[in-house]
Amino acid sequence: MMKSEKHELRGSGGRLVVHSWGEPEGEPTARYIALLAHGYGEHAGRYEHVAQRLVAHGAAVYAPDHRGHGLSDGDRALIEDVEAMVDDLHAVADFARGRHPRLPMILIGHSMGGLLAARFAQRYEPELMGLVLSGPAIGGNPEMKQLLALDPIPEIPIDPATLSRDPQVGRAYAEDPLVFHGPFARQTLKSLFEAIDRVAAGPSLDVPGLFIHGDDDRLVPLDPARDAARRLCTDFLEEHVYAGGRHELFNETNKEEVLDDVVSFVDAVLQRT
C-alpha cells in the first residue's frame, strides 16, 4: 500500500495541508493527476482507499484538507468565502502540476467538494481533462436553506446514518476527531448557497463530466443536483444513480462498483486526448 505524504502550502486561511499518494517527484510513472476535494466537515484522510484505487489505476493523487478542516488552519468548518477555497484548490493544482509536469488532470469533488469542483471548472476549465461530481452540493437543498430564516439556527449536526448503509462508516465518522461534529454556522450556509447561485449563473462547460449519486441521499437531494449537473456539463455528462445509495458513495456498500465507474470514466477521458 502506498503511504501518503503531507505537504504544507500557504492558503487563504493560513497553513493548508495537502495529502498526496502516488509516484515520487521526478519519477514519471503516473498517467494523470487526480485532484480530490472532500466534503463539508470532513477531511482528505477519509479518502485513503479512494486514493489507493486511483494510484493503482495510474494516478498521482493530491487532496487538501480545506481551510477550517482536518489538519489545515482556520475556524472549524466555517465557510466564509467559497471562492477563496477554490483559490486554495487551484494552488494545490499548481503544486501538483509542478511536481508532475504535462500530466492531464482529473478533478473529483464530493458534496461541498463537488461545489468547489464545479466552481473550479468554471474558472479554470482549460486546466482540466475531466470532472467527477459525487453527490455534489450544486443544486441546493430547500430544507437546509430554510435554516437561514431561523434565529438561532438549530444545532442539528449531520446524522452519521445518512452517510452509508455500512454502519461501520457511521461509527468511524462519529469517532473521528478530525471530523467536525457541530452545527452549521449561519455564514457557512449563506456562503454555500451564494456559491450554488454562482454555479447556476454559468458558464456551462465543455469538459467531460461524470455525475454519481445515490437515490437515497438525504443530505443532497438527487433531482436538483442532477439538473444542475446537466446544466453545467452540456458537452458530455455520464450519469450513474445507485439504487439505495446514501450520501457517501465512496464509502457505500457498493463502493467498488462506484470506483469501477470512476476509473472507467477516466479511461474514456484519457482516450479522447
State yes or no: pLDDT of 27 exceeds 70.
no
Interatomic CA distance for residues 159 and 173, integer angstroms: 10
Active site residues per annotation: 111, 217, 247
What pTM, to 2 d.p., does this model score? Answer: 0.96
* Best CA proximity match to 72, nearest among 166, 180, 161, 146: 180
Contact call for residues 267 and 238 (beta carbons, < 8 A): no
3-class SS at 239?
A: strand
3-class SS at 185?
A: coil
Question: Strands 5-11 and 14-21: what pairing?
Answer: antiparallel
The total number of structural domains that make up the chain:
1
Q: What is the CATH number of the domain that holds 172?
A: 3.40.50.1820
Per-residue buried b or exposed e for 29-49, using 16+ beta carbons within 10 Å of the residue's own CB = ebebbbbbbbbbbbbbbbbbe
Give the model confidence (pLDDT) of 51-104 as tens digits.
999 999 999 999 999 999 999 999 999 999 999 999 999 999 999 999 999 999
Contact call for residues 67 and 74 (beta carbons, < 8 A): yes
Structural domain harbouring 192: 5-271
